[in-house]
Structures are given as C-alpha cells and as structure tokens.
Structure 1
Amino acid sequence: MLDLFPEAEKPVEIIPAKKLPARAAALYVAPADHFQTRPVDELRLGFDGISGDFHAGPTRRSGGREPWYPRGTEMRNERQLSIVAADELAIVAERMGLAQIKPEWIGANLVIEGVPQLSMLPAGTLLFFRDGVTLKVDAQNGPCRIAGRSIAENAGMADIEAGALLFPKMAKRLRGVVAWVEKPGTIRVGEEISARVPEQWIYQA
C-alpha cells in the first residue's frame, strides 16, 4: 500500500479498484403514477433517468431517508434507477416465508447477474453497458414499508401490515442499490456490463 500518511497517524488500508463482468438479466419501468414496475425489453435513458418512469427527473422530493431536510424539500435525484439481484431477493423471500419476491413488486428497474453481493457495491461504482450507457451507483437502497406492503399484497400474505413491517427487517443490505445516469442511451435485456468498483477505504477520523 502506498504510504500517504505520516507514521504517527493510524494508516488507512486502501483496497484496490476492480472490474467485474455482469449482465442485464431483466429490465423494468414504472408508470408515471405508481412505483411498481413492469417488464420491458429495453430502457431509454436520458440525464433525467428512464423516460416516463415514476422516478425520472433531475430532482426529487426528500422523504424519510433524508431527516436532515424538511420532508418534501426539492433535492438532486440520485435515485433514478433501482437495481437488484435475483439471488438476494431469493434470500429475502425465504426469510419472509414466501415462494418469491418479484423485482417489479418493489419497483426495481434493473436485475443484474454476475456481481456477488450486489447490495454491497460501494458508492461511486460505475456500470458500463456494452452499447454505451453508464450508470453510477449512489448508495445502498434501504428497504421500506411501502415496498413491504407491495410485497405482502402481491404475495397474498394474510397479514398485510405484518408483511409491510417484516420486509425492512429481512431485507436490510439485500435490497440492491440506487443509481443515476452518467451517460445516456438505451439498455437492452441481456446486455453485457462491466462493473468498475472504485478504490475503497474505511474513513476513521
């Protein structure tokens, strides 16, 4: 590791950047009036996100994830796309006692294959699609009761409220990541992806 810090200070371990091959296994879009998505063969992306999607736009309104702002404050939209992995959804489904959790139930736009522990991708990870689109991962997507309620209703759970509350507990660090469009274009089902994970370190003041 390159010694960037004085010997008197605690050294910071730098984990090198890496590239991972991946694939766009499935694509989804949400109607403008609801967060649940439906499968499509391609996604047309602009700098505002997915054309016509529920989460499209250069800005969004703050919610429970941003307690430092009054709810409803206009802010940069870094949540243009929701990305999940089928293996992680299978784990959550098993924990909740369900046969499956479909990506569209929780408003996913993209299912990626080939990236181990997708939900643990760090902020700043770049997803380069073969045909030219680039997405930038902003953060892990925290599971919420709204998605939990959707799962409970679609799966036919006997107690909808209990299901809504169970999902945030069972899906922590397994609900995928959110990303925004760095370079627009069109994504197609089956397209190859190069995931470029940046250098990582643990900041300790």
Structure 2
Amino acid sequence: MISMYRISEFAQRVGRSASTVRRWEREGRIAPQRVSGQRYFTDADVRQVLQPGFDESARQTIVYCRVSSPGQKDDLASQVRAMEEFCRGRGLAVDQWICEVGGGMNLQRTKFLALMDAIERGEVGTLVIAHEDRLARFGFDYLEHVATKNGCTIVVANQESLSPQEEMVQDLLAIVHTFSGRLYGLRRYEKALKDELAGGGR
C-alpha cells in the first residue's frame, strides 16, 4: 500500500509551506499524482525532496530470518531453506539475507535495528519473513505501518512451522518474569507509602 499525502500533509513532512510546494510544482521540480482533480504526493516525492539523488530502483529485497537461541541453529538453517524455496516460487530476486539469533521480545537486536533503520531511510523495497513473529513477538502491525510509510512491503510467508513452540514459551516466561518484578516493586512501593502516611498521621 502506497502512502498518499495531500499538499498540506506533504508540505509538513518536508518542512516547507504549501505555497513553496505549489511553486515547486509550477517550476516542474516535483510532479504530484492527480486523483479526481486532487494533488497527491507519495513517499517517493518526500525522498526526492529530502534525499536528492535517491534512486528508487536501488531499493533492496531483503529476507530476515531469526531464532531465539544459539541452540536453534538447525531451526535457523531450516528457516533459510524454506525461505529460499518460497522466494524462488514467488520469483523474488533477493539482494540480502539477514540471519539473527535473539529473542522476539528483544527489540534491541543489532541486525533488527539496522534493518529498521534501512527501511526508514527508504532503502528496502521488499522485506520477506517466514512469520510475523520473526520480526517481533508483539507489535507487528506497528512495524508494518513504519515499513509501509517508507515504501517497504512486508511479505509474510506464514510458515507457522518455522516459529518453534519453545520460543513462545521462552517469551511468555520473559513476560511473566517482567511483570512479577513490577508487581514486587509495586508491593514494596505500596508498603513504603503506607508507612509514610502512617508516620505523617502521628
């Protein structure tokens, strides 16, 4: 899905006034699409202004594969093989393969962050993953929103079998551990607050 912006929205995204954008159009520096008589701009137009010389045809097709732990190397290899077969079947020419070991709850994974940075720079045209949780256990809809906004299409092969059940168990345990710690902290805070109030009332 391509993001479309009206002239005021486009002007805001590129940090200029609507009158400046109209002047650029008159000068032929930018050519918006017209739908039912309305001007619309795309992310490609945004990059044309903010990143002069950016080559849309240079956008990459990237496959991202992930497992949670080093002990899952066989699972990672199976995931890569399955994605190779998927891409061949779709006729996708892959420019880069990214394989990473790290939990789906960890959004500070080095390669994951580098991938998201590349998407936000407009360098990725297509991102292929085996399943939504390969990017992150939660929040896929937001990540897809960021990708779409920057002209990147996420293709999900939906290979459920390539998302090992033990990974979900590990992620659920991590959630329980996190909230258990927070509840313990809240209980300590509640006790300290009650003691403080009781002391102040004396």
**TM-score normalised by the chain length of structure 1:** 0.26
Bigger radius of gyration: 2
Higher relative contact order, structure no. (Cα contacts within 8 Å, ≥ 6 residues apart): 1
Higher helix share: 2
**TM-score normalised by the chain length of structure 2:** 0.27
